[in-house]
Amino acid sequence: MRLFRLLRILKALSHPARYSILLRLMVGPKGFSRLAEEVYGEDIDIGRIAGKFVYHLNVLEKARLVERHSGKWRITSLGLRALEIVEKLGRESGDGGNAPTGIV
């Protein structure tokens, strides 16, 4: 059971859009539209972007890295810890901690 949970977290961190969502939520909670526009750099009214974005948020939510609160999305303590670990791995792997910055 524990391994399954860990694999779910790793899967959630494995996509640039999801990683970008976590980085943007580090500064504070954001509404769906604003967060999507920051991640994709486009107007969220475009249907295909909204659908993809909902999918990515659901993956992060199932992994318990983000949660909805008062109509906005926010990063959880587990999400913050996961980002810290990714940063540490980046430093130890020799890339100077230059993990992806969320450019999708």
Per-residue pLDDT of the chain (104 residues; tens, 9 = 90+): 688 889 999 999 999 999 999 999 999 999 998 999 899 887 666 667 788 899 999 999 999 999 999 999 999 999 999 999 998 988 888 755 455 544 33
Q: In the prediction, which pLDDT does 97 show?
A: 47
CATH class label, 2-92 = mainly alpha
Q: At 41, is the secondary structure helix, strand, or coil?
A: coil
Q: What are the φ/ψ torsions at residue 36 (nearest 5 degrees)?
A: -60, -40
Cα separation, 13 vs 74, whole angstroms? 16
Beta strands in the chain (DSSP E): 66-69, 72-75
Q: In the prediction, which pLDDT does 50 show?
A: 81
Domain-wise residue ranges, the chain: 2-92
Are 92 and 84 in contact by the 8 Å Cβ rule? The answer is no
